[in-house]
Structure 1
Amino acid sequence: MIRALAITWLLAAPALAQEAPDFIAKRAAGQLEAAQNALLLADRATDRVQALTKTVKAYEHGLVALREGLRRAAIRETALRRKFEAERERLAQLLGVLASIETSPGPLLLLHPSGPLGTARSGMIVSDVTPALQAEVATLRAELEELALMRALQQSAAQTLQDGLAGAQQARVTLSQAMSNRVDLPTRHLEDPQALSNLVNSVDTLRGFAAGIAEMRIAGAEAPLHIGEARGALPLPVAGTVLRRAGEADAAGIERPGLIVATEPRALVTTPWSATIRYRGPLLDYGNVMVLEPGDGYLLVLAGLEEVYGDTGDVLPAGSPVGLMGGNVPGAELFLTQAANGGGGAKSETLYIELRQGEEPVDPGIWFAFDG
């Protein structure tokens, strides 16, 4: 019975995950510390906007990694507790056996009433079972230590999280100020600026607006490089999860020609390619919209932002910030709760991404590089 108990316990031991929660959390803490250092150095950077953009993204990546580490820690802790609860009776038997072995004198433990032959057989059984018991005890000890580590990880993350959330907010505010003060960008201008105002006031669909923008003549600084060179390799403008691709119907059965990406609150949105701002501001029921012209007759429409940067006619290098998503960043306590529950409420905002060539939409899925 003891041998069967030991073998069953060993077979139930979990395999190590590819990335342990404590490893992910430590890496996240390092990312957040690096982001804090970058924020302190941003004021002295040659290109302050670029430095702050990288800092905000570093904070975003660090907080996402920290949430994942805490999520895995909570899942692992729950699994271990459920296992201990389910194995309560068997654990009690194991501890009882270990206690009896430790308290019984060696000669008496091996003494058998049937005589020397029985004593020899009992000695062979004990010597055979002892390694399995030792292995089982080692497994139990390791899992108890892991349980303590998971709990300590969640408790110690509070201060790291608090500092990370505060730093990310400071970086966003500083970036917004830097963008409002920026005057070094080349510009292109509309030949008929009033036409844009008329279009905004008269249009009733995003398609009609994009078509009208495409027809407006623009002059000034040199146009961006050919976007065709980046086909299939463009980074998404925002860190997030693709909810729907082009042509996929939503819950109401509505199909759109663009991507819908779920993002964290206040996530930073950047241009994936050098582009001219053709329009920025509120439009219809899309919230704030940013229309970028990356060249070759293409227009990139980003809808759903809360805050937009830059002015119409600015020519932006690739990776430039164009705005922030809306929503409320959770406090440390809510962040920890969301992480423990699987992070279900984390990506509460959605960015709509549409790519058009002339008057026709094209599938952005063949232009952007993303998983899933």
Structure 2
Amino acid sequence: MRWLALILLLVGSPLTAQTPADAAAQAADRLTAARAQLEAAITARNQVSALTETVQSYEDGLVALRDGLRRVAIRVDTLQTQLDSRSVEISRLLGVLASIGDAPAPLLLLHPTGALGTARAGMMVADVTPALQIRVEELRLQLEELALLQALQETALDTLASGLEGAQAARAALSEAISDRTDLPRRFTDDPIQTALLIASTDTLDSFADGLAQTFDTGDAAPVVQPDGSLTLPVRGTLLRGFNAPDAAGISRPGVILAARPRALVTTPLAATVLFRGPLLDYGNVVILEPAQDVMFVIGGLAEVYTQVGEILPAGAPIGLLGGDAPAIDDILNETDRSGGPAASETLYLEVRDGQSPVNPATWFALDRG
């Protein structure tokens, strides 16, 4: 897969040529490493940890490859537009070259007005020839670059397909490993009847969180952690809506909404106890974590949930997947051609509660670093 980076190194202007090459090199390295990781993770002693890293490696590699393909598509469009706009000039240039090539060599050295005209004509041709050669060379380079890029787009389909299949296989293996996991300690055992009664008696997340804190009081068992705004977000995405920012309907929530790609892996940013998991109000599937005394991380919008109530999860442990379907390869190529990158069509809600009140997640998380 190194050829991908080598070809991309040839494209673009001198100021931006390194960027697609870097993206392609990262994609090649990460996807190659992810394939090796997947094979090793199946037999790893800690399968969950190894497979979590594998899934993230696939996600990183696919993002890098998509970014490289997007930039290649932009360059192809630029070259095609330039060639189309110069079609008349190119036709004339080809006509001149064809007429010169068809004329017998002796005639090129003669002029109807005699020796003086022949000399003047020779001087004019000598002046025009370098410029003509420059034009021909520019055209040749553009056509070669266009052919290379188009070949790259076609060949990258195999790389993209392999990466998508590998990512899906890694997610499936991770789900199976989690279902077989028995090594996590439990701080308490879930009481489903009590939890159901609590859900039925509350109509807001505030009241549910308050009731949950009283129902499962872990006391001094939870660690004390000081926030510094540097935690990695639970999903690799970007900030879509900030703290208390209203949505299109004018409704504001005391949390943030993150945009991420379909089937993205969600992990816990800190070692934490699972206080709740399951559908809640209009937040979809929710996981509530307790990383520190009187602190809760409310994570909503999951399609699949891996955790169990009462488990103590290590930092970076998988807690679920976002929904959506991975786009088809043709859709990805069309998408990269039209926009600034693959659509982050799924959303995750993140709320942080300190004591009995929600606080700005920026107090804990680096929101600008997805």
Stretch moving more, 85-94 or 66-75: 66-75
Matched, 1:269 2:266: yes
The answer on whether the counterparts of 1:24 and 1:66 sit within 8 Å (CA) in structure 2 is yes
Residue of structure 2 equivalent to 1:357:
354
Q: What per-residue deviation string (whole Å, max 9, x for no partner) do you get for residues 326-345 of structure 1? A: 11122333333333333777
In structure 2, relative to structure 1, the CA distance for the partners of 1:227 and 1:188 (3 Å cut) is farther
Say if 2:256 and 2:351, in contact at 8 Å, map to a contact too: yes
- The secondary structure found in structure 1 opposite 2:188 is strand
Q: How far, CA to CA, are the matches of 1:127 and 1:368 in structure 2?
A: 68
**1:243-282 alignment runs, 5 A limit:** 243-282=240-279
Residue type of the alignment partner of 2:209: A
1:187–1:220 Cα contact (<8 Å) kept: no
Is structure 2 residue 338 aligned with structure 1 residue 341? Answer: yes
Contact conserved, 2:220 with 2:293, CA < 8 A, in 1?
no
Runs of 4+ displaced beyond 6 Å: 190-193
* 1:113/1:271 CA distance change after superposition, 3 Å: same
TM alignment of 1:132-281, pairs within 5 A: 132-189=131-188, 195-219=194-218, 222-224=221-223, 226-228=225-227, 231-281=228-278
Q: How big is the alpha-carbon RMSD for the aligned residues of Structure 1 and Structure 2?
A: 2.8
Q: Kindly state the Cα deviation for residue 23 of structure 1 after the two structures are TM-superposed.
A: 5.7
Q: Residue 293 of structure 1: CA displacement? A: 1.1
Please state how far the C-alpha of 1:248 moved relative to its aligned partner.
2.3
Change (3 A) 1:117 1:365: farther
Q: Which amino acid aligns with 2:137?
A: A
SS of the equivalent of 1:281 reads strand
CA-to-aligned-CA distance 1:23-69 (integer Å, 9 cap, x gap): 63454243222211111100222321110000001111111222222
- Report the AA paired with residue 173 of structure 1: A
Distance 1:371 1:121 in 2: 68
Kept after mapping to 2: 8 A contact 1:277/1:290: yes
Summarize deviations over 1:142-183 as a string: whole Å, max 9, x none: 211121122112211222222211111111111111111212
The secondary structure found in structure 2 opposite 1:242 is: strand
Q: Distance in 2 between matches of 1:365 and 1:120?
A: 79
1:367: how far off? 2.9
2: distance between equivalents of 1:226 and 1:135? 66
Deviation at 1:285, TM superposition (A): 1.5
Amino acid of the residue matched to residue 82 of structure 1? T
1:1-372 superposed matches below 5 A: 15-16=13-14, 17-19=16-18, 21=20, 24-25=23-24, 27-104=26-103, 108-109=107-108, 119-189=118-188, 195-219=194-218, 222-224=221-223, 226-228=225-227, 231-342=228-339, 346-371=343-368
Give CA deviations for 1:289-335 in whole Å, capped at 9, x if unaligned.
Answer: 01111114221111000111121111111111000011112233333
Counterpart of 1:152, as a letter, is: A
Q: What is the alpha-carbon distance in structure 1 between the residues aligned to residue 249 and residue 125 of structure 2?
A: 68
Query: In the TM superposition, what is the alpha-carbon distance from 1:132 to its structure 2 partner?
Result: 2.9
Identical columns (%):
52
* CA deviation after TM superposition for structure 1 residue 368, in Å: 2.2
Could you state the TM-score of these two structures normalised by the residue count of structure 2?
0.86
Q: CA deviation at 1:366?
A: 4.0
